[in-house]
Amino acid sequence: MNLYPFKFQPILKERLWGGTKLKEVLGKPIESEITGESWELSAVEGDISTVANGPLAGTSLQQIIDQDPEGLLGKDVFERFGKDFPILIKFIDAKQDLSIQLHPNDELAKKRHNSFGKTEMWYVMDADPGANLIVGFNKDVTKEEYSKSLENDTLLDLLNYEQVKEGDTFFINTGKIHAIGAGVLLAEIQQTSDITYRVFDFNRRDKNGNLRELHTDLALDAMDYAKKDDFKVGYDTQKDAVNTMVDCPYFKTNFMNLDKDLSLDVANRSSFTILMCVGGSAEVITEAGSVKIQKGETVLVPANSTNISIQTDSVKLLEVTV
């Protein structure tokens, strides 16, 4: 099988809190006024990505993995995860505040849901003036204090708010209470998991007039109640270089702001490479083929590639590996 750089059909998700920026800013083919998510690269059951370019157009990501797991995933990734693609890539548009939520760790997720946990990171692509994120508590709280705040409808008083702008980056480890605020458009990189414990939803109702399900009891033992300043990611923005952003057990992400061509020697990289375009445009070339990428698009470069050439005069990329 000829494994070339792949683009995939976006999987578009309507959400109560979604808007139209995925179309207006990123050019996604949305028809709804409440589209909140574009899943760019997914192996979540029921939402498996389909190739959009080249000879394998129409083939699912899982079919490619099944036919050549080491070629696509890389030897180390295959040994660790088998044929399960370990990363889920999204763009998210929050016209309204998302629900306040958290995600379980691997151990709890495996025990309760037979799933990976959900460690994730956010890169802010666009933010309305004054837009913010909720990340963690603003003080150490006890389980009892937290539970009482839910009863008294005072949870918001315990939360930490972070005003954001383009380029701000956050690492959300499991157990951390969080929410994306209204007016934020971001790129999300996460473990392959769709397990979310929703704890507060501003008492909103869906289109049928129903309150959305909360996961109050499940969240109690999954939550980190300590105040921690471990979420804001500081990173270099050196031009025409590979700048480290996040290096955790589940994924590694680098930032590239290029005004000229760059060649990456990946012959010894035993992992696939994901390139998310968060600004500008480029052509991504390997020995097996090439593909153009622009803001709001994502390319998966198979692990058996030995060199990735990025040809551009202006592009901003997030590079993700395992």
Mean pLDDT, the chain, whole residue set: 97
Question: Is residue 171 predicted with pLDDT exceeding 90?
Answer: yes
Residue where the block lists tokens 């079919």: 63
Look at residue 1 and tell me whether its pLDDT is greater than 90: no
Residue type, 176: K
Question: What is the CA 154 to chain-centroid distance, rounded?
Answer: 29
Binding site, annotated residues for Zn(2+): 103, 120, 178
> Nearest 5°: CA angle at 15, between 162 and 159?
25
With H, G, I as helix, E, B as strand and everything else as coil, classify residue 157.
helix
Q: What is the pLDDT of residue 208?
A: 87
CA-to-CA distance for 150 and 100, rounded, in angstroms? 12
Per-residue pLDDT, averaged over 189-195, amounts to: 95
Q: How many CB atoms lie within 10 A of CB 47?
A: 12
Q: Where in the chain are all domains bearing CATH 2.60.120.10?
A: 11-220, 243-321
User: For residue 45, what is the DSSP state?
Assistant: T
Percent of the chain topping pLDDT 70: 100
pLDDT, tens digit, for every residue of 194-218? 999 999 999 888 888 899 899 999 9
- Residue 213 CA to residue 198 CA, distance in Å, equals 7
Residue 88: both structure tokens together: 């889920």
Mean pLDDT of all residues in 36-47: 97
Active-site residue numbers?
Answer: 198
Question: How far is it, in rounded angstroms, from Cα 250 to Cα 266?
Answer: 19
Q: What is the pTM of this model?
A: 0.96
DSSP string across 72-125: HH-HHHHHHHTT---EEEEEEEESSPPPEEE---HHHHHHHHSS----EEEEEE
* CATH pick for 243-321 out of 2.60.120.10, 3.40.50.970, 1.20.1560.10, 3.40.50.620: 2.60.120.10
Task: List the binding residues.
Answer: 103, 120, 178
In this predicted structure, what is the pLDDT of residue 264? 98
Q: With cut-offs at 50, 70 and 90, classify the pLDDT of residue 64.
A: very high
Query: How far is residue 299's CA from residue 48's CA, in Å, rounded to a whole number?
Result: 15
The CATH topology of domain 11-220 is Jelly Rolls (2.60.120)
| Residues 132 and 162: beta-carbon distance below 8 Å | yes
Radius of gyration for the alpha carbons in the chain, expressed in angstroms and rounded: 20
Any idea what the Cα angle at residue 245 is, between residues 295 and 14, rounded to 5°?
45
Task: Enumerate the β-bridge partners of residue 11.
Answer: 39
Integer Cα distance of 24 and 300 in angstroms: 24
Distances in whole angstroms, Cα of residue 199 to Cα of each of 1, 77, 146, 158, 183: 46, 34, 11, 13, 21
